[in-house]
Amino acid sequence: MSATSAPAAGSLGMSPSGSALARFVRRNSWVLALWILLGAMLAFTVAIQPGWGAPQLVILAIAALPYAFATAGQAMAVIIGGIDLSVAAMMTLTSVTAAVLMEGQGEEFGIVAVAATLLLGLGLGTVNGLSVVLTRVPDIVVTLSFFFIWEGAALLILDAPGGSASTWLRDLIIGPVGGFVVPAEVGAWLPKALLLLVVSLGVVWIPLKRSRLGLWMYAVGSDRLAAFRSGVPVDRTRVAAYALCGLFAAMGGLILTMNTGVGTPIQGPYLMASVAAVVLGGVSLAGGRGGLVGPIVAVFILRLARQDLTLLSIDPNVAQVVEGLIMVSVVLVGALVALRSRRS
């Protein structure tokens, strides 16, 4: 560590821009490596399937959306040193709520339903957070209980797939942006789903990261006691992080409803996938490290891997083994890197 920082400090006086770049690279090395991996995988995809183009990109973006929101929510909980096992259950509950709210209503009512669903998500997350703080039971156990509770609540609202989604909401994620605002050539390569993802996450995450709450979240995650002694309202910060997790889960729930046009009271595979993507994205499970960009890139890497395996016409069952092995090896390499940096 000291060996790498000494030359950087020495070059500070000579070329500030160079050292800033070096610092940026050093701080974001994991995320940069993920971008490179994603790029390599895209190149590989085009190589094995020369016809791979804009339509496949759109499919990839739509497939990645619910995973991306689940992962964003999970990242909030993991950054403060917690974990939220109820994230997929919250998605299910918000999804069926949105579908039931929109059933038989006019198109305009969709906005009310979206707002209500997002508020519900915030509320569910707040309940999670308050329970963690007030009961002082480990996060993993509390959110495990809420895994059952929110799933049960979803079953009470809808015991079979049902409800509906406004047409304009469904149109929001289907297809590319096209010739709207940007040139048509660029627009064809820009899936609406990707735009929606970047906007929804950015609206929450960018102001948050610059705010005091964002700083508090990292402080609480890296050392709760030190944060408490420096005057950080630890309990309030933890509740806020879980509330944000609920908000992102609600966005994911809305996506599920938009995707299928109905609400389904069964949990998707998003819990495991969100934990995997968060870890792959460079957010330490010990808390206090990482951001949102890494996990989202990780989601796209994992989804693209799945698409590639399908393109290679590999048996979907074998594909699951390969996907699992990819996840294991990435996590092993990540752990090894972390181990080395701790030793030196």
Partner 1 sequence: MSSTVQATSSRPGWLSSVGLRKLLRDRPIIPLVVLLLALVTVLEVLQPGIVNERWISNTVKFAIPLAILAAAQTLTMLTGGIDLSVGVVATMTAFVMATQVAFMDLAIAIPLALTCAALAGLASGIGVGVFRVHPLIMTLAVALVVEGLLLVYQRLVLGSSVDLPEAITWLGAGRSFGNIPNALLVFIPIALFMGLLLRRTGFGRLLYAIGDNEGATRLAGVRYWQVIIVLYILAAVLAGIGGLLYVGLIKANTLSLAVPLVLPSVAAAVIGGTSIFGGRGGYSGTIVGAILLQVIATMLLVLEVPEGTRRVVFGLIILAVTAAYTRITEER
Which residues lie near partner 1 (CB under 8 A)? 83, 131, 135-138, 140-142, 144-149, 151-157, 159, 224, 228, 234-235, 272, 275-276, 279, 285, 315, 317-325, 327-328, 331-332, 335-336, 338-339
Q: Among 118, 141, 109, which residue's Cα sits nearest to residue 128?
A: 141
Smallest separation (angstroms) from partner 1 to the CB of 133:
8
CB nearer to partner 1: give 96 or 208: 96
For residue 31, the one-letter residue type is V
| Helix-helix angle 234-260:109-135, to 10 degrees | 140
CB nearer to partner 1: give 152 or 202: 152
CB nearer to partner 1: give 85 or 258: 85
- CB count, 10 Å around CB of 236? 14
CB nearer to partner 1: give 90 or 172: 90
Cα distance between residue 274 and residue 327, in whole Å = 12
Smallest separation (angstroms) from partner 1 to the CB of 327:
5
Smallest separation (angstroms) from partner 1 to the CB of 167:
29
Q: Find out whether 87 and 272 touch, Cβ atoms under 8 Å.
A: no
Helices (H), 54-191: 54-79, 87-102, 109-135, 139-157, 167-171, 184-188
Smallest separation (angstroms) from partner 1 to the CB of 181:
41
Smallest separation (angstroms) from partner 1 to the CB of 33:
18
Distances 314 to 85, 309, 311 between C-alpha atoms, Å? 31, 6, 8
Cα distance between residue 42 and residue 186, in whole Å = 17
Output the six-digit token pair for 207. Answer: 């102001």
Query: 337 — phi, psi (to 5°)?
Result: -60, -45
Q: Find out whether 217 and 80 touch, Cβ atoms under 8 Å.
A: yes
Smallest separation (angstroms) from partner 1 to the CB of 228:
6
CB nearer to partner 1: give 43 or 225: 225
Q: Among 285, 306, 174, 287, which residue's Cα sits nearest to residue 225?
A: 287
For the chain, counts of helices (H) and of strands (E): 16, 0
CB nearer to partner 1: give 169 or 319: 319
CB nearer to partner 1: give 42 or 144: 144
Cα distance between residue 164 and residue 256, in whole Å = 11
CB nearer to partner 1: give 207 or 324: 324
Smallest separation (angstroms) from partner 1 to the CB of 176:
32
CB nearer to partner 1: give 117 or 131: 131
Smallest separation (angstroms) from partner 1 to the CB of 156:
4
| Helix-helix angle 16-27:29-48, to 10 degrees | 70
Q: Find out whether 288 and 221 touch, Cβ atoms under 8 Å.
A: yes
Output the six-digit token pair for 260. Answer: 């299928």
Smallest separation (angstroms) from partner 1 to the CB of 142:
6
